[in-house]
A and B are shown apart, each in its own frame.
Chain A
Amino acid sequence: MILIIGGAFQGKKEYAALTYKVREEECFDAVLPSENKDSGDYYIIDHLHAWIRETLKKGENPEEKIESFLQKRNCILICDEIGNGIVPTDSFEREYRERTGRILIRIAEEADEVVRVFCGIGQKIK
């Protein structure tokens, strides 16, 4: 499993496509592929932060869902870095930031590779 992180619009998805030769049809946008949709062996899940946000909004537990997903799948997860700013005044926004950070730590522990993309340049940090 590969985790790609970085700020918005830094070329994370392009980096993934170029480096790991993933095709557009293998790309999921802010959703986890469901059990039966499972066809290829490699996916990109783009905008993971948006999926986390939606999951929290629905009152569901993203940590649990991603944990079982990580055990089963071989994939590339792409997530925006969202924790590098002023602490938001809104409590949901604060929780979203904090939990996204913790989820990323958990994913990074399991990942074979972690790449941080900045200005379109990927820096392999694990």
Chain B
Amino acid sequence: MTILILGGSGSGKSKFAENCLIEKNKSGVCYYLATMMSGDDNESANRIKRHREMRKGKGFVTVEQPYDIEKCLDRTERDGSILLEDLSNLLANEMFANKKNDNGNDCIRRILKGIKTIAVQSENLVIVSNNIFEDGIEYDEETQRYIRSLGVLNAEIASFSDEVWEVVCGIPVPVRLQNSQTAGEVKLQV
């Protein structure tokens, strides 16, 4: 089963995603697929620490893979459940750190291919992503490309996910649940 979980900053999406994966997992290992690159600043170190604390005791095995995401499969069991945290980091890493000299669309295709591969080769895949689309600010070209790319990725992943949730103030709000189609679901052009 593939589940997409969206939310803004400090919305409580990670906590919901962790519990969601544990609930769906039957007998395999729960993997935490961490995409954040530990920078040398305090803030990202603190963020990583906070997330580790939150996962403590939930039985997650952490696998770090900041880009080329499907490579995590070398280190995971096939009947395992994987929590990908998170898509916005992964996209930033692919666009700005994984220097393959390609354009935004190649990044999107690479990420989608990776995610589809993981989805097929694991029991459950829960993907955490961000809602970054509602601050009304027009950014520079590069940032706009990033925002657009995440929008495309969210919509593409949503289209093959069994469940899509948005977490608001810690409350999970269903966007689309299994076997139900929402009105006007669109495919964005890659």
Contacts and interface: CB of A to CB of B under 8 A. Distances in A.
Contacts of B43: 91, 94
B8 A81 contact: yes
B131 A105 contact: no
Pick from A86, A91, A114, A125 the residue with the most CB of B within 10 Å: A86
A84 B131 contact: yes
Interface stretch (A21-29, A30-38, A95-103): A95-103
A83 B130 CA distance: 10
A104 B131 contact: no
Q: How large is the interface on B (under 10, 10 to 19, 20 to 34, 35 or more residues)?
A: 20 to 34
A116 B168 contact: yes
Contacts of A125: 168-169, 171, 173
Which of A101, A107, A125 has most chain B Cβ within 10 Å? Answer: A101
B133 A84 contact: yes
A109 B170 contact: yes
A102 B10 contact: yes
Given A3-B169, A114-B171, A101 B8 contact: yes
Given A81-B134, A84-B131, A84-B133, A100 B171 contact: no
Interface residues of A, number: 29
A21 B101 CA distance: 59
Contact of A108 (B131, B135, B143, B169): B169
Contacts of B8: 81-85, 101
B155 interface: no
- By secondary structure, the A interface counts as mixed
Contact of A83 (B11, B136, B146): B11
Given A83-B9, A83-B10, A101-B10, A107 B169 contact: yes
B9 A97 contact: yes
A126 interface: yes
A100 B170 CA distance: 12
A82 B131 CA distance: 11
B135 A105 contact: no
Given A86-B137, A86-B146, 15 more contacts: A3-B169, A7-B134, A82-B135, A83-B7, A83-B9, A83-B11, A84-B132, A84-B133, A85-B135, A87-B9, A91-B43, A98-B10, A101-B8, A114-B168, A125-B171
Interface of B: 7-12, 43, 131-137, 139, 143, 146-147, 168-171, 173
